[in-house]
Amino acid sequence: MNRSPSLSAKCEESQSPPSPNPSALRRWVLAFCVIRFDLEQGQTVEELYPPDSLPSDQQLLVAFSSFPDSMSHHHPRHRSSIHDSIFSFRFPAGGAFIYGYVFNRQRQDERLPRGGEQKSVVVLSHYPYSSVFRLLLQILGPLCFDIGRAALDLVASHVAAWPPPSPGSPMDLPIGTAALRVHLPPSPDDLAAAPFPPTNPSVPHGLFHDADLFAAFRGLLLHLWTLWELMLLGEPILVIASTPPQCSEAVAALVSLVAPLPCSVDFRPYFTIHDPDFARINSLREGDAFPPMVLGVTNLFFLKSLKNIPHVVSVGSPSPNSTRVLPVASRSSSTSTGTNTRPGRLNLEQLSLNKFSPSNLLNAMKRRREGPLCLMTEHREAVWSTYSATMKPDTAILNRLIDAGMSPRIEESMSVVNNEILRRHFLELTTNFLAPFGPYLRAITPSDGSSPFVELPPLPPFHADEFLNGLAARGPGKFLTKRMRSNWLGLYRRFLEGHNFMPWFQRKRAAVEQEQQRLWRQARLNTDIHKLISKMSEVEIVDSFNAIERHLLGEIQLLQSGGGSADSVVACQKLKGDLQVVFNVLPKDMQQLLLFNPKRAALLQGSPEPNKVPGHPSVHGALVSETKLSFLSL
């Protein structure tokens, strides 16, 4: 998809931009790099801004990750002397990840050594804001080649002036005389606290909502449901493509495919043999389980070195500008053939299995025998996996997709439409798949007339066997039943054992517990204490005094530690008033006993004489057991 923004930034060389605030810049960007490929020295970091923002080992890794692999498929040369591309990579650093966004320029010039040169402009960030940095690179990249280092100073000053990121929200980020209009993905905490199921399918519900899902897998549309399952289960996948933009876009699209479920496995949009993790996974012996990773590669050497990886996906046609959309599937692999010259709906007959012919049979047997190694001789779009899928391709969705034919003019608009169709479908698919977990992720609110001062009820305990037995009895729901094969319960069982379930479930439970605490706290602030205790017994009133005191002390402690909310003072005043009301209906001997504790006496601040509560007789002369009194001590 063409993402060229309709904006420009010009540098007035007579005016030097203001020096950006380093902390303000780091809210968005860790560093800017300009890296040149030197024939004698290899990748060389020409510029690093801010200076010393990266240690030398990370500089080396960034340098190797910022150029097409030397053993990549040879992309076709354009008649133009300049070839620009944008792609991304990701690597671990200090317990987190750093995202790299690359603008690479390859220039052909017979006057240069070996007839050309390569240079990359890189934006490094701790955040997966691809929608921001792709647009930023389309300004910064060409500007660096025009005015050099001054472009880094100029753009850095604009980025440092941006407001802090607002995850999950649309933002207008000014740069020059224009603005980048983006919608940031939600943070993991925001995603956990989001309504379930999602209320608005048009906004991002996970990472890389802007990834071009349709273009990345246009030759493998029938296999999207299988790939959805593999991502759902956190299976290791090797994505191989002709170019870094193709493989990084495909990996981003796969991560986005299971939204709103976060992808908890390690994913690398563009992975090279120079990555420190390559030595670890390359040392796996035959039969060793491959770690849960989604790797995007272009180097064909990975086909031989990573034989243990169980699922291989080959994406992208050899020509990046090809608009072929006609995949041919077989049980063990699929390939893309054919062209379509007229815009219209995708032809499902051409998306279906190959018709029998001797040549097709021989080719299928050859592909199955050679496996992914057949890519060493010819690149084709295909999937190699022994996984038996549960989901059936949704032909109703495929019928709605629009084929742009061979017309580049309408390709972008058609891709936007197709992406919206696919994203809405897979969002609905994932949401319905996760729906059976809803009863375990639902906050319990106080019922009418009940006391909000009691201990919060725990969420229902989750036991995998009980969940599966109950699900087997009631079924997965109408939406999934007609799209799943008979082995659907096995998919849930594998999901519970996979790498994505527990991180999602635990984070979601924590968010629900926090929401439940908020709801009960709000109920306490809204409670009419007189009305509440008017229907209570003596024992219940004593319990309420104890509970209100505990909540009041908790609010005071939060205020003193600086962790209170905006309405903590109001909450303290309300709880203190409630405590006094309950205290006033207690018998005098009980009141005197309570006031022996100086801390409690300070809370009560000399309560007035006991008051009668409407509808409830005063508790005069009542005796309270020693057991009950023991609960009243601080």
Q: What is the pLDDT of residues 129-184, one digit of tens each?
A: 999 999 999 999 999 999 999 999 999 999 999 999 999 899 999 998 889 999 99
What is d(CA 205, CA 260) in angstroms, rounded to the nearest whole number? 5
- Amino acid 610: pLDDT: 42
Give CA–CA dist 421/174, Å, rounded.
31
C-alpha to C-alpha distance for 184 and 201, rounded to whole angstroms:
15
CB 462 within 8 A of CB 512: no
Residue 633: predicted pLDDT: 42
Q: For 236-279, what is each residue's pLDDT tens digit?
A: 999 999 999 999 999 999 999 999 999 999 999 999 999 999 99
pLDDT, residue 78, reads 47
Residue 114 has pLDDT above 50, yes or no: yes
Mean pLDDT is lowest, of 346-355, 426-435, 526-535, 580-589, for 346-355
Select from 579, 587, 624 the least CA-distant residue to 609. Answer: 587
Burial of 97 (0-12, 13-18, 19+ CB in 10 A): middle
Q: How confident is the model at residue 632 (pLDDT cuts 50, 70, 90)?
A: very low
User: Is pLDDT larger for residue 143 or for residue 6?
Assistant: 143
- Per the prediction, the chain carries an average pLDDT of 82
Question: Exposed/middle/buried for 574, CB within 10 Å: 0-12, 13-18, 19+?
Answer: buried
- Is 532's pLDDT higher than 80? yes
Amino acid at 146: D
- Cα 549 from Cα 599, distance rounded (Å): 11
Binning pLDDT at 50, 70 and 90, where does residue 623 land? very low
How many Å apart are CA 361 and CA 342, to the nearest integer? 30
Distance CA 539, CA 551 (A): 19
For residue 94, name the pLDDT band (cuts at 50, 70, 90): confident
Q: Give residue 361's pLDDT.
A: 59
Give the tokens for residue 620: 């005069």
Residue of 182 and 372 predicted with greater confidence: 182
Does this model's pTM top 0.85? no
| Residue 344, pLDDT score | 60
- Highest-scoring range by mean pLDDT, 172-181, 187-196, 234-243, 478-487: 234-243
Give the Cα-Cα-Cα angle 181, 184, 185 (nearest 5 degrees): 150
Angle at 319 between CA 315 and CA 322, to 5 degrees: 85
Which pLDDT does position 364 carry in this prediction?
61
- Decide if pLDDT at 39 tops 80: no
- Provide CB contacts within 8 A for 72, sequence distance 6+: 242, 243, 244, 298, 299, 300
Average of pLDDT values for 115-124? 87
| Residue 608: per-residue pLDDT | 41
Q: How confident is the model at residue 628 (pLDDT cuts 50, 70, 90)?
A: very low
Q: What is the pLDDT of residue 270?
A: 97
pLDDT reading at 617 higher than 60: no
Q: How far is CA 33 from CA 8, 84, 303, 363, in A?
A: 21, 17, 31, 46
Question: What is the secondary structure of 298-341 as a DSSP string?
Answer: --THHHHHTTT-SEEEE-S-SSTT-----EEE-SS-EEE-----
Pairing of β 334-336 and β 344-345: unpaired
Which of these ranges, 16-20, 83-87, 186-190, 307-311, has the smallest mean pLDDT?
A: 16-20
335-371: pLDDT as tens digits: 444 344 445 666 555 554 444 456 665 666 666 677 8
Residue 547 CB: number of other CB atoms within 10 A?
A: 20
Biggest distance spanned by C-alpha atoms of the chain: 106
SS3 430: helix
Model pLDDT, residue 534: 85
* pLDDT of 396 above 80: yes
Q: Which amino acid is at 265?
A: V
The single residue listed with the structure tokens 């006057």 is 111
Picking from 544, 566, 584, 546, the residue whose alpha carbon sits closest to that of residue 452 is 544
341-376 exposure pattern, b = at least 16 Cβ within 10 A, e = fewer:
eeeeebeeeebeebeeeeeeeebbeebeeeebebbe
Name the residue among 321, 331, 381 with its Cα closest to residue 353: 331
pLDDT at 111: 66
Query: pLDDT value at position 59?
Result: 94
How confident is residue 332, by pLDDT bands cut at 50, 70 and 90?
A: very low
